[in-house]
Amino acid sequence: MTFQITPIKACQLKLPGGKLMDLSRPVVMGILNITPDSFYAASRYKADTQTIADIAGEMLKDGAKMIDVGGYSTRPQAKEISIEEEIDRVLPVIETIRKHFSDAVISIDTFRSKVGKEAVKAGATIINDIAGGNLDADMFQTVADLDVPYILMHSRGNPETMTNLNQYNDLMIDIISELQKKVFELRQAGVKDIIIDPGFGFAKGPKQGFEMMRKLTAFQVLDLPLLVGISRKSMIYKTLGISANEALNGTTALNMMALMQGASILRVHDVKEAVETVKLFEATYLPQYS
């Protein structure tokens, strides 16, 4: 049997200051949550300067090409916090990373345009919106005005309601159609660099997540780089009957499947293991990079 490996969507992201980020080969994004209630307890960090510098430094040393900073837990049933509290959580973290690692590519994980704007002022270089613009009407124009890359994730509702919004006529057709509409709106607003995130676990149950993983190549129709974030999510630990703390092996297995189907970015809690997965993928299927 011969497996068909799907090439990633190669491109260069234009970052603030004119810097370009090459996505001709897969990269890893490390998750840095400044929240007390993220679903994976080990990813919750305190925002003291030394801890943040140490964590970010370790991620970069292990091979992360991006660090995704979040101050608002978006797990199902997560409670809302104010814009001010979210800003107070993330800005010192972004400023600390930028101070210690001037070339770091920092993504701000937020669905609020005001948080995104303040984060970019503080040194963030990408906006990662889990709501795909659905929860803030100003988000698309803000991204265009800031001229930063935008991660468009598919979701429905908000963290408190999304688990009840997972009904689809045809899972892949509906998701791609909804994303396609958003891509058009972003282009109309003037956003140049867009990355697609299918949104594993957001308005999708475990079975739907595995269907999406099987059909991941369908997102190529959008002709945009693909980010996959399945790190330690419920589709893994519920299927295996374990906890999120025990879901690293399952995460690694699905990350490899995602790479084989064209994922450009792996968003993960465990950077070292994900980077090793990318290296083994490249050694097997992209020997010119190994």
**What does the block give as tokens for 91?**
């800005």
Contact 108, 148 (CB under 8 A): no
Active site residue 267: yes
Q: Which of 233, 238, 272, 279 is an active site residue?
A: 233
**Hey, what's the torsion of the CAs at 154, 161, 238, 226, to 10 degrees?**
10
Rg (CA), the chain: 18
Kind of pairing between the strands at 20-22 and 12-14: antiparallel
Across 139-245, where does the E strand assignment appear? 150-153, 194-197, 227-228
Picking from 269, 199, 16, the residue whose alpha carbon sits closest to that of residue 122 is 16
Taking a C-beta distance cutoff of 8 angstroms, is the pair 9, 225 a contact? yes
Exactly one of 112, 117, 232, 267 is catalytic; which is it?
Answer: 267
Rounded CA separation 42/7 (Å): 33
Q: Which residues contact 180 (CB under 8 A, 6 or more apart)?
A: 222
Give the count of beta carbons closer than 10 Å to the beta carbon of residue 184: 10
Return d(Cα 38, Cα 68) in angstroms, integer: 14
Is 98 in the active site? no
Burial tier of 257 (Cβ tally within 10 Å: 0-12, 13-18, 19+): middle
Write out the catalytic residue numbers.
233, 267
